[in-house]
């Protein structure tokens, strides 16, 4: 689960990051709205924790722009607690609003509640079904066995149906930024994944010069 923390105060980002890492979330950081938009464009972010009052671009504006890119859950942070500010946020489609100062433990609890609501238990594309709770994959209702990385790769592709994903994107989201392999790692896993999918192997399309995508007309 990838979480983006956006706040112009590094100390606040560090505290939030520390508590999120304890819960095994992967954390991205930005110090203003413009940086946040760039990160969302280039990464698979599952939830955004964003301060409202920031230089260059405030949280409300950044939230509005990010919502145009992807429908990502939001928790807004603010030193102000006026009802008017909360209403603006909820009108933008945010999921929760936390007033500073806040308890990091409470913030993490709110993150867990939102991610539980927004995690799809079952993903289906054509005759492929991925059961996220059982950690199983079925092809035409027949269970297939995948390695952990093959499973994560298929899940990520299925979460982003009809979206072209670069090899760099796939490497960073499945293997992490500290992985020292190269593009051939992705190509090898795609090859074996296709073999597991049988007659649905061609659902994973190669995007020339970029990467891969799962293509579905349904």
> Looking at domain 2-118, which CATH architecture does it have?
3-Layer(aba) Sandwich (3.40)
Which pLDDT value is given to residue 188? 93
Per-position pLDDT tens, the chain of length 218: 789 999 999 999 999 999 999 988 889 999 999 999 999 988 878 899 999 989 889 898 999 999 888 888 999 998 776 666 677 777 788 888 888 888 999 899 889 888 776 666 788 998 999 988 788 999 999 999 999 999 999 998 998 888 888 888 888 778 765 555 566 888 999 999 999 999 999 999 999 988 999 998 76
Which pLDDT value is given to residue 112? 86
- Could you tell me the end-to-end alpha-carbon distance of the chain, in angstroms, rounded to an integer? 26
User: Distance between CA atoms of 211 and 190, rounded to whole angstroms?
Assistant: 10
Which pLDDT value is given to residue 179? 55
Q: If you search the block for the tokens 């969302």, which residue do you land on? A: 40
Which pLDDT value is given to residue 138? 95
Answer whether 205's CB lies under 8 Å from 125's CB: no
CA nearest to 125, candidates 165, 149, 154, 166: 154
Tokens read off for 28: 């991205």
DSSP state of 32: S
Distance of alpha carbon 103 from the chain centroid? 24
CA atoms within 13 A on the CB side of 14: 3
> Looking at domain 122-214, which CATH architecture does it have?
Orthogonal Bundle (1.10)
Which pLDDT value is given to residue 197? 96
Start-end ranges of CATH 1.10.10.10 in the chain? 122-214
Asked if the bond preceding 117 is cis, omega within 30° of 0, the reply is no
Which pLDDT value is given to residue 161? 86
Which pLDDT value is given to residue 83? 63
Start-end ranges of CATH 3.40.50.2300 in the chain? 2-118
Record the pTM.
0.57
* Backbone angles phi and psi of 199, in degrees to 5: -65, -10
Which pLDDT value is given to residue 51? 93
- Residue 138's H or E segment, with its range, is strand 136-139
């Amino acid at each position: 689960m990838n979480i983006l923390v956006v706040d112009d105060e590094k100390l606040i980002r560090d505290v939030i990051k520390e508590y999120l890492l304890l819960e095994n979330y992967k954390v991205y950081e930005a110090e203003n709205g413009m940086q946040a938009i760039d990160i969302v464009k280039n990464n698979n972010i599952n939830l955004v924790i964003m301060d409202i009052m920031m230089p260059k671009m405030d949280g409300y504006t950044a939230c509005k722009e990010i919502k145009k890119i992807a429908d990502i859950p939001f928790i807004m942070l603010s030193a102000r607690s006026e009802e008017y500010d909360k209403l603006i946020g909820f009108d933008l489609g945010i999921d929760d609003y936390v007033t500073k100062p806040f308890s990091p433990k409470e913030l993490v609890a709110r993150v867990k509640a939102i991610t539980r609501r927004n995690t799809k238990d079952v993903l289906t594309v054509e005759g492929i079904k991925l059961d996220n709770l059982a950690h199983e994959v079925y092809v035409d209702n027949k269970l297939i066995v995948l390695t952990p990385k093959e499973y994560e790769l298929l899940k990520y592709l299925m979460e982003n149906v009809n979206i072209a994903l670069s090899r760099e994107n796939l490497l960073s989201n499945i293997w992490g930024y500290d992985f020292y392999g190269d593009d051939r790692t992705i190509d090898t896993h795609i090859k074996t994944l296709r073999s597991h999918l049988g007659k649905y192997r061609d659902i994973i399309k190669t995007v020339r010069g970029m990467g891969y995508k799962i293509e579905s007309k349904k």
